[in-house]
Every structure is written in structure tokens, then in C-alpha cells.
Amino acid sequence: MNDRTNEILIESKNLTALGVVVLILGMLAMMAPGFTGISIAMLLGILVLIAGVVRIVWAFHAGNLGRGILMFLWGGLTLACGIGLLANPIFAAGVLTMILVVYFLADGVVELIAGSQRWGAGGGWLVLGGAISLMLGVMIWRQFPLSGPYAMGILLGIKLFFVGLVMITGSSALRAAAKV
């Protein structure tokens, strides 16, 4: 075997391992959808809160007063958004659910296009994943606002599950191509 074949086999093994991890995360998200949805909203709130604090600190290192005031105000707004996300994670989960709808719809279109362009080398799985993404986006949209954090957890889990499957089957295709 040459060096390139060894590299492809190593990449394939890494892709398989990552695919298994993503698949397991998807199953865990589906088993506790409410917890997953609220956790995502709260994690986002913590990250936005930290970003607000960092922006405020950076404001004191601005080159001039006008820029410093603008950076301080922007940091204050970011901090307030982080506090808002943490104060009402159910509302935050609702907003994130709508963002998830947009993501699933856009992801579905991209996967359908990519899968149709490479039908032979795992493209069928991309088309299936794209169709599932589109279906999930429409399902969440039709059930909103009742879907909220549960939809986020269940549907994100389903998406992760199928992404894991695509990664695992893609690694098999890599291994097959390397052995030729």
C-alpha cells in the first residue's frame, strides 16, 4: 500500500468513529427531547452572556472614546440578550426552533443538490438526508409553537442520527475506493 492509501484508510476510520459518536448523540437527544431543547437554549444563553462580558471588557481597550462607547453599548446589548435567554429558556427554545426550521429547510435543499450531483458515491444517502431535512423543517413549522423545545430535541436528534449514518456509509465508500 502506498502512503495515500494509508491516509485514506486512516481518514475513513476517523470518519467512522465520528459517525458513531454523532449517531449516539442523536439517539440521546431523541431519548430526552425536552431536556435537549432547554439545554441548547441555556447553553446559548451562557455563551451569549460571556460574549457580552468580553465585549464590554474590550470596550475599555478601544482606541478612542467614540469607539469605546459604541463597543460598550454593543456589549451591553449582547449581555442583555444572554440574560434574556437564561431568564426565559422556553421562549429562547421557541426562537431557536424557528431558526432550526430555516436550517432544516436550507440543509435539505443543499443535500438534495449535492446528492443528485454524485448519485453513485453515497449520493443516494445525501438525497435521503436532504429529503428528511426538508420533511423535518415542514413538520416543525406546522406544529409551532407547540413544538418548542421538544421538537428541537427530537428533530435535532433525528438529524444527528442520519448525519452519523451518512458519515459511516461515506467512510465505507472511502475504504472501498482506497482498496481499488
**pLDDT by residue (tens digit) across 103-151?**
989 999 999 998 888 776 677 888 888 999 899 889 888 877 666 778 7
**Which residues touch 81 (CB under 8 Å, ≥6 apart)?**
48, 52
Cα separation, 45 vs 85, whole angstroms: 5
3-state secondary structure of 61: coil
Cα separation, 2 vs 41, whole angstroms: 48
Q: What is the reported pLDDT for 147?
A: 66
Q: What is the reported pLDDT for 134?
A: 93
Report yes or no: 106 and 58 within 8 Å, Cβ to Cβ. no
Query: What does each of the 180 residues of the chain score in pLDDT, given as a tens digit?
Result: 677 778 888 888 888 999 999 999 999 999 998 888 888 889 989 999 999 999 999 999 888 888 889 999 999 999 999 999 899 888 888 888 888 889 989 999 999 998 888 776 677 888 888 999 899 889 888 877 666 778 778 878 888 999 999 889 888 887 777 776
Peptide bond into 145 cis (omega under 30): yes
> Nearest 10 degrees: CA dihedral of 145, 148, 151, 157?
150
Q: What is the reported pLDDT for 146?
A: 66
User: Quick one: cell of 50?
Assistant: 460571556
Q: What is the reported pLDDT for 108?
A: 93
Q: CA angle, 19 as apex, 105 and 1 as ends, to 5°?
A: 125
Report yes or no: 111 and 122 within 8 Å, Cβ to Cβ. no
Q: How many residues does the chain have?
A: 180
